[in-house]
Amino acid sequence: RVALACALFVNPDILLLDEPTNHLDFPAVIWLQKYLVGYEKTLLVVSHDRHFLNYVTTDIIHLYNRNLNYYKGNYDTFAVVRAEQRLAQQRAYEASEAKRKHMQEFIDKFRFNAKRASLVQSRIKALARMEKVAEVEDEAALRFELPQVVKVEGNMVALDNVDFAYDQRKGYILRNVSVCVHAESRVGVLGANGAGKTTLIKLLMGSLEPLTGRAIRNRTVRVSCFNQHHVDQLDLDATPLDFLKTKFSKATTDQLRSHLSRYGIGSSLHEQLIGNLSGGQQSRVAFALVTYRQPHLMVMDEPTNHLDIETIDALVNAIKKWNGAVLFVSHDQYFLEQVGKDFWGVTDGRVKQFRTFKDAKSFSYAR
């Protein structure tokens, strides 16, 4: 927030923002959106937040195959126009190839027919003059494959009428909290920065213990955590394969290679240093790490921070196909709406459960 405030304060002629919504809660994002819409100078922003891009941008620059392609409109308009362009190009390619094939068949059939020699020569010249239409490149979607698990009966973790404070003299962080996570859960946690979301997660996971009330944890449940600082879990001087070998020494090389491939880490990347991989590729290695032991419950703290749009889509699709439980804290509205089935709103020491993102958002950011 301080870095962002400094950039805005100088009122530059060209404002460059790289993932500005990372680490901001909803009220801060909304304020930033309104500020940037009224910004009268040039803004260039890199972001994975679709809602933010739709609200703020008037043009999209798409970097693809080392070329910059320009589109008028916001992100949704870009997505529609680009899909239409690709469809039109594919149809033009197919029509061109059909015409080429027809002309070539005529040439081959009558090449040695003296009566049709002039027609054949005309077709040969016309074929040579035809402009080549490029085929649309197949954009293979990035895919994750989370390991399926045996379902656990009953609650995995729960809090029963819990109170918690780091220092009671300064007041309680959470009061009278009763929540639970079961095998079918897809719970999104909302709340302003400092509301107590991380404290709530730590109480559920056992990193903290309640002052009053009960924390109930099923000891047979395997839990994995993925947080916004996931790169800190990695050894940047090791290769993905060697790194996993240090963590799972009993696994075979083939098993580890297969597991990395589940997360879009192809064989050509297995032997490259993690520090030389892109941010998205490093995130996939982190996912490979936290899912290797086949967790029943994935706990994620701002998982979309530092992920690109393709990786976010891959994660969303993987979770939808997975049979484990998910508990996640996020300010990414797209991710919350796509993944969450239930929502916990955290504000003023209270935790309230909701069935819709809209209601949870209204409760969590009412002030």
Cα 325 to Cα 323: distance, rounded to the nearest angstrom: 7
Reported as a single tens digit per residue, the pLDDT across 298-312 is 999 888 887 888 888
pLDDT confidence tier of residue 139, bands split at 50, 70 and 90: low
**186-190/342-347 β-pairing:** parallel
- Read off the pTM: 0.78
Residue 154 has a pLDDT of 86
For 152, phi and psi rounded to 5 degrees?
Answer: -105, 130
Reported as a single tens digit per residue, the pLDDT across 204-223 is 999 999 999 999 999 999 99
Pair of tokens at residue 14: 């060209």
**Helix 117-129, helix 75-110: angle, nearest 10:** 160
Reported as a single tens digit per residue, the pLDDT across 248-275 is 999 999 999 999 998 888 889 999 999 9
Residue 173 has a pLDDT of 94
Residues 6+ apart with CB under 8 A from 205: 157, 223, 225, 299
- Fill in the amino acid letter for 256: L
The whole-angstrom distance between residue 6's C-alpha and the CA centroid of its chain comes to 28
pLDDT higher than 60, residue 140: no
Residue 160 has a pLDDT of 96
Residue 14 and residue 45 in contact, taking contact as beta carbons nearer than 8 Å: no
pLDDT confidence tier of residue 35, bands split at 50, 70 and 90: very high
Cα 238 to Cα 112: distance, rounded to the nearest angstrom: 65
Pair of tokens at residue 322: 């997975």
Residue 35 and residue 8 in contact, taking contact as beta carbons nearer than 8 Å: yes
Q: Tell which wins on pLDDT, 205 or 365.
A: 205
3 state SS for the chain: CHHHHHHHHCCCCEEEEECCCCCCCHHHHHHHHHHHHCCCCEEEEECCCHHHHHHHCCEEEEEECCEEEEEECCHHHHHHHHHHHHHHHHHHHHHHHHHHHHHHHHHHHHCCCHHHHHHHHHHHHHHHHCCCCCCCCCCCCCCCCCCCCCCCCCEEEEEEEEEECCCHHHCCCEEEEEEEEECCCEEEEECCCCCCHHHHHHHHHCCCCCCEEEEEECCCCCEEEEECCHHHHCCCCCCHHHHHHHHCCCCCHHHHHHHHHCCCCCHHHCCCCHHHCCHHHHHHHHHHHHHCCCCCEEEEECCCCCCCHHHHHHHHHHHHHCCCEEEEECCCHHHHHHHCCEEEEEECCEEEEECCHHHHHHHHCCC
Pair of tokens at residue 83: 């899909």
pLDDT higher than 80, residue 141: no
Cα 187 to Cα 164: distance, rounded to the nearest angstrom: 21
pLDDT confidence tier of residue 70, bands split at 50, 70 and 90: very high
- Fill in the amino acid letter for 172: Y
Q: What is the CA radius of gyration of the chain?
A: 27
Reported as a single tens digit per residue, the pLDDT across 326-360 is 999 988 889 999 999 999 999 999 999 999 999 99
Taking residues 280-288, what's their average pLDDT?
Answer: 88
Cα 323 to Cα 326: distance, rounded to the nearest angstrom: 10
pLDDT confidence tier of residue 143, bands split at 50, 70 and 90: confident
